[in-house]
A = this chain, B = another copy of it.
């Protein structure tokens, strides 16, 4: 069928429904009915309101559209087809191996900014994009987010409502597709549009309730949203799942599957055939904004004979200097900037610092939104509290996002505050993020250099900093390549190698001293790059230290430094190695750091004992 061009939202909406049915039918799976409910909302957006050059995804003035209800991917792809971003052949590769048109959207497609499919994330990311538009890019693009009604139960949505409402992000419009039906039954609020509107208004939003199948009402609501200059707007739209096909319309059992009889359904919808729609061009306002260098751009240097410095302090100082050198660097923190030391960046670069308050999910999502626009985002909080946003970090990897995370106060070495603040699982959880980099410095120069290196890393990178001050082991000009390790102590007579990172490097050095008294020479390896890991240094240590290796980490025994070492050795085909793994034993309590390190079995004394045992054979 020949493609016709239309400006009529109703005609476009029909074709979007037809394509949604076609895609799911071709794939044999997919959320056809959840796409059909939002088709009118999408059609009016494309024909009358969105301003985007679909021939140039890099146009900084383009509006952004995020499908927070990512399962409505058939509608996303039907829209791509309608604007000419993909052709009909590709459209029908939906959900096939190797296709860009996956079950849930991923940014392999030029006009998909982020992956969605874990509900409750699209709106928080939209808040980040809207913040970027107003505060960083300083351009007048608009951010549109199509949300499901089921995902309104996610707390992260309310972190987004709170942040956007308080910030008055007028460039953000949320559209809630209230089709009443979730996966297993009716949603908590069904078609009670006011339930959503009242909540949104309480959080400072302008709320409009409409019939989501009345194109005139939708058009008026979008105009009202654009005309609202002091608040973000939420449009709460009453819709029907499966709209347009009687067999599935408003039917519970029709969730998440193709429509039974595609051909009849398409006929029932009244297929107008292939449709192309001309979308308004973005305003050609001023060019992209960048910040000018401010303050002292010299990387911090810590002298070898200087006072001890906490790696978290080095994080703040290195990030601040980096921010002076690079106008693309921004920082976010979860109301602990005086603990993580991002407060120093905030003082030097207030325009590029974002206080996210105690809302870690929104914090990560905001950073994801900002990196969509090319900003280099560093996000910091206690390592323990990054666990709060683990699903957001997981999804950021699916989004191919470049994100820099800093978790401070990691380990039992924080002392008196106790286990709720320790984050003893961070190395394991962050290693298990696809393509991640995991760094764990033991001295201020190392921390500073690694913070600088993170700026140019792809994917999710994580740096673990510690609360207590640590002596300076390395000179200010030392290099710390990602994927490397440092042999901080060795001799030709080494009979055991001790592999640590962060605080345990210092425990290992103390242990090596006392072992030497006993005539046992120990090599000490600083494994500051936990992922990727320096296989060569580890293999050499096994070869040169009689196959005896001790790993010691201020972390649970599972999934951290010790298992990273074991995997590296296994991957290198090393046999003949005797590895003793030391990690935190038992649930810690409160107490002085030294006592907690001892109780956990990861202090110098524990290392010495392990080395003695290994050295016996």
A contact residues vs B (CB 8 Å cutoff)? 27, 29-30, 70, 95-99, 102-104, 106, 115-120, 150-151, 153-159, 162, 166, 182-185, 187-188, 198-199, 201-203, 335-339, 343, 355, 357-362, 384-385, 387-388, 390-391, 394-395, 397-398, 400, 416-421, 424-425, 428-429, 431-435, 531, 547, 556-560, 562-564, 566-567, 570-571, 573, 575-581, 586-587, 589-592, 595-596, 599
Contacts and interface: CB of A to CB of B under 8 A. Distances in A.
Nearest to A388: B391
Contact of A599 (B97, B432, B557, B581): B97
B575 A570 contact: no
Q: In this complex, which of A336, A361, A428, A579 has the most chain B Cβ atoms within 10 angstroms of its Cβ?
A: A428
Contacts of A357: 150, 153, 182, 187-188
A495 to B, nearest CB: 16
A605 to B, nearest CB: 15
B577 A571 contact: no
A19 to B, nearest CB: 17
Given A435-B587, A575-B577, A421 B97 contact: no
One complex includes copies of this chain to the number of 2
Contacts of A361: 155
A432 B570 contact: no
A556 B434 contact: yes
Given A156-B155, A390-B391, A425-B433, A184 B337 contact: yes
Given A385-B118, A417-B104, A166 B183 contact: no
A151 B418 contact: no
A199 B198 CA distance: 9
A431 B203 CA distance: 38
A194 to B, nearest CB: 10
A30 B421 CA distance: 13
A404 B435 CA distance: 30
B388 A118 contact: yes
Contact of A358 (B153, B420, B562): B153
16 contacts: A97-B589, A99-B590, A102-B419, A103-B421, A104-B418, A106-B589, A150-B357, A151-B358, A154-B358, A155-B157, A199-B199, A202-B202, A387-B391, A428-B428, A431-B558, A432-B558
Contact of A591 (B95, B336, B433): B95
Contact of A592 (B97, B117, B390, B586): B97
Q: In this complex, which of A185, A336, A394, A431 has the most chain B Cβ atoms within 10 angstroms of its Cβ?
A: A394
A30 B590 CA distance: 11
